[in-house]
Amino acid sequence: MKCPKCGNFDNKVLDTRVQSDGDIIRRRRECNECFYRFTTQESLLRVFPAVIKKDGRKESFSKLKLLTGMQAACQKRPISLAQMEQLVETIVKDVLEHPSKEVSSDELGKMVMNQLKYLDDVAFVRFASVYRNFDDIKEFIETLQKEEGDKTKDTATAPEASI
């Protein structure tokens, strides 16, 4: 590691600490030339699949965009930011395990809906109404009734309720 003060590459590690559930390592270093102390941070670089939008465009995967969409659906609901962030991390884990180098926005929307379905009914309905882009109220009601039926069938396989 290059010293930020003098540019020397010869330094020693004074302290190493693991943070964020083992995802980040912080190292306190000291330059052997000028004795300047500085901190470096190491983290795993994850390669996310590209997101294929409905119009065929490719876009980089964004955790922030996922969280923003979820926040809009959960606005004025008794859902904490920590709960939403945990749902985003669950989805990120699923996306990283995706076998392809590309994931469709449709698949991402289904992942979000699947998580929101068990967290909050109103947030689920809000997200579904935007995500599905319904043409009329009848289609919206039919879809909600189908999802409610699926929800009662899937209670045994619901995500962890510790959120």
What is residue 124's predicted lDDT score, i.e. its pLDDT?
87
Q: For residue 161, is pLDDT > 50?
A: no
The answer, yes or no, to whether residue 20 has pLDDT greater than 80, is no
pLDDT band with cut points at 50, 70 and 90 for residue 162: very low
What count of other Cβ atoms lies within 10 Å of the Cβ of residue 66? 20
Domain co-membership, 22 together with 58: no
Residue 68 confidence (pLDDT) above 70: yes
Q: Say whether pLDDT at 159 is over 80.
A: no
Is 132 found in the same domain as 77? yes
- Taking residues 144-161, what's their average pLDDT? 63
Q: Which residue has the tokens 């698949």?
A: 107
Please indicate, yes or no, whether the overall pTM of this predicted structure exceeds 0.75: no
137 shares a domain with 59: yes
Q: Is the pLDDT of residue 128 over 70?
A: yes
Please state, in angstroms and as integers, the Cα–Cα distance from residue 121 to each residue in 32, 68, 147, 160, following that order. 59, 18, 10, 16
Q: Give the count of domains, the chain.
A: 2
Rounded distance, CA 134 to CA 130, Å?
8
Q: Are both 71 and 101 inside the same structural domain?
A: yes
Length of the chain: 163
> 24 and 104: one domain?
no
Residues 39 and 96 in one domain: no
- What pLDDT score does 163 carry? 45
**Higher pLDDT among residues 128 and 61, named by residue:** 61
Judged on CB neighbours under 10 Å (0-12, 13-18, 19+), 73 is buried
Interaxial angle between packed helices 137-153 and 105-119, expressed in degrees from 0 to 180 and rounded to the nearest 10: 60
Per-residue pLDDT tens over the stretch 72-125: 999 999 999 999 999 999 999 999 888 888 999 989 988 998 888 888 888 988
Range of the domain at 15: 11-43
> Mean pLDDT throughout 16-31?
90
Q: Indicate whether 159 belongs to any domain.
A: no
Task: Kindly report, residue by residue over 34-64, the tens digit of the pLDDT.
Answer: 999 999 999 888 888 999 998 999 999 999 9
* pLDDT score at 140: 78
